[in-house]
């Protein structure tokens, strides 16, 4: 039994009274924390880019016009493309695949269109960010960092997006832009 008494003596707890200066330090550190949090939130808001708002979803007729323009540009240049047009939420509205398009481009075109619609920016923005060392962009779900996905805008609002794949990424983007131009956008 003597060993138990010794152990209890070793683990005894001493109560130390808290002085009023300690409470002031706690209040000061809490206020500093809150102030720092407020400044951080303002700074994060200032760093965030303004994204255009979503508009009415794209209709099938406009989607077909855009895809036809992209296909015409592709045929003119001898590019074999997969072309996907999605609504402003990333859901497929129209899809077209030219003869002898590489199989992998089927999904890539859809992924580019979805990323451009859901993030309301061209997929080139992700590609450029990663090239500048911002590898954290790779962690964004659905953010395809390959040029060729472009939001479809009307009246300053995103109504959908087009994704094109099958050639080089800059050629994919050129076909996508030709599709928007052909539709008068």
Look up the pTM and report it. 0.71
What pLDDT is attached to residue 18? 53
DSSP 8-state assignment for residue 11: T
Phi-psi region of 132 (alpha: psi -120 to 50; beta: other; left: phi over 0): alpha
Neighbouring CB atoms inside 10 A of 170's CB total: 11
- Is 111 found in the same domain as 132? yes
- Is 138 found in the same domain as 112? yes
Looking at the 3D structure of the chain, how many domains does it have?
2
What pLDDT is attached to residue 36? 46
Predicted confidence (pLDDT) per residue in 78-125, tens digit: 999 999 999 999 999 999 999 999 999 999 999 999 999 999 999 999
Residues 89-110, buried b or exposed e (16+ Cβ, 10 A)? ebeebbbbbbeebeeebbebbb
DSSP 8-state assignment for residue 42: H
Between CA 37 and CA 17 the distance in angstroms is: 31
- Is 119 found in the same domain as 41? no
* pLDDT for 64 beyond 60: yes
* pLDDT for 4 beyond 60: no
**CATH value at residue 152:** 3.30.450.150
What the block records as the tokens of 74 is: 């592709």
- Is 74 found in the same domain as 126? yes
Domain that holds residue 166: 60-182
């Amino acid at each position: 039994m003597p060993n138990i008494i010794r152990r209890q003596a070793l683990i005894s707890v001493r109560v130390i009274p808290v002085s009023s200066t300690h409470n002031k330090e706690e209040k000061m550190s809490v206020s500093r924390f809150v102030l720092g949090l407020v400044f951080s939130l303002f700074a994060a808001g200032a760093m965030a880019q303004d994204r255009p708002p979503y508009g009415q979803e794209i209709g099938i007729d406009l989607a077909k016009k855009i895809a036809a323009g992209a296909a015409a540009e592709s045929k003119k240049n001898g590019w074999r493309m997969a072309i996907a047009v999605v609504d402003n939420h990333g859901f497929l509205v129209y899809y077209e695949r030219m003869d002898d398009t590489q199989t992998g481009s089927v999904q890539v075109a859809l992924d580019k269109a979805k990323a451009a619609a859901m993030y309301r920016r061209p997929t080139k923005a992700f590609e450029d960010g990663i090239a500048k060392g911002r590898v954290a962009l790779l962690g964004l779900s659905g953010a395809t960092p390959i040029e060729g996905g472009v939001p479809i805008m009307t009246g300053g609002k995103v109504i959908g997006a087009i994704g094109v794949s099958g050639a080089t990424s800059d050629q994919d983007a050129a076909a996508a832009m030709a599709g928007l131009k052909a539709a008068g956008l």
